Amino acid sequence: MSPGLISIPKLRFSEPCHNLPGRKGIATAEDRFTIAFMRAYLDQVDSIHRRSRKTTLAFAREIPINGYGIADLYVVAWDGIPGEKFPDTRSFVRVVKPSTRAFECKLVNWRKAMAQAGRYCFFANQSFVVLPEKACDRALPFLNTFKKIRVGLWSFSLKTGKITVHHTPRNLTAKSDRYYFRAIESVARASKQSLPIP
């Protein structure tokens, strides 16, 4: 299947912003940027994560974790066996040790994106800021700050579909087991059976 045809599922939950006039069901420029990035990521994931054997992916948009924000994208990667099933999330995590990646995509405000992505470390093994190339140029002088707070910085060109990796943080243990499991379960609900858990 071509990356352009892949559906990027979104977790359905109550969002206060949808109560505003004219907002419900309307994709913003940031939504379109996020979806285009995810399709490009799926196409380039093998070259971006060359050393990883965790090539089975489940993913969803807008994963909310109370108190820590709403990740624009959340990816669960593991070394999967076709047909393998687990009775619950804890068993899945204990056996396959998945790598989880939370992404914050912004068109302009890299500082806000960095602050948001910093909170995603509570429920993801890696967190990233993804920006258009021009916005990323403004963030690059602060690359050491991204490194210190263990947040990745990538740029994405809507025009060419190219992802440029400026910094990828090491895979770390999420700060909260509770929210880590909740995020994985949210992806399982949104992506409908792409994770081998009930």
Q: Is residue 56 part of a domain?
A: yes
Per the domain annotation, does 86 fall within a domain?
Answer: yes
192 three-class SS = coil
Within a domain: 150: yes
Q: How many domains does the chain have?
A: 1
> How many other C-beta atoms lie within 10 A of the C-beta of residue 122?
19
Assign 64 to helix, strand or coil.
strand
CATH number for the domain spanning 175: value is: 3.40.1350
Which pLDDT band holds residue 18 (cuts at 50, 70, 90)?
Answer: very low
Instruction: Tell me if 44 is assigned to some domain.
Output: yes
Predicted pLDDT of residue 13: 53
| Listed residue (57, 71, 152) closest to 119, CA to CA | 71
> What percentage of residues in the chain have a pLDDT greater than 90?
78
Given a cut of 70, is residue 5 above it in pLDDT?
no
Predicted pLDDT at 9: 72
The structure's pTM equals: 0.89
Nearest by Cα to 192 from 67, 24, 12: 12
Instruction: Compute the average pLDDT of residues 34-42.
Output: 96
Classify residue 63: in a domain, yes or no: yes
In a domain, 197, yes or no: no
Range of the domain at 97: 3-191
94 phi/psi in degrees, rounded to 5: -65, -40
Q: How high is the pLDDT of residue 21? A: 45
In a domain, 14, yes or no: yes
Q: What is the pLDDT of residues 111-167, one digit of tens each?
A: 999 999 999 999 999 999 999 999 999 999 999 999 999 999 999 999 999 999 999
Please indicate, yes or no, if residue 198 is contained in any of the structural domains.
Answer: no
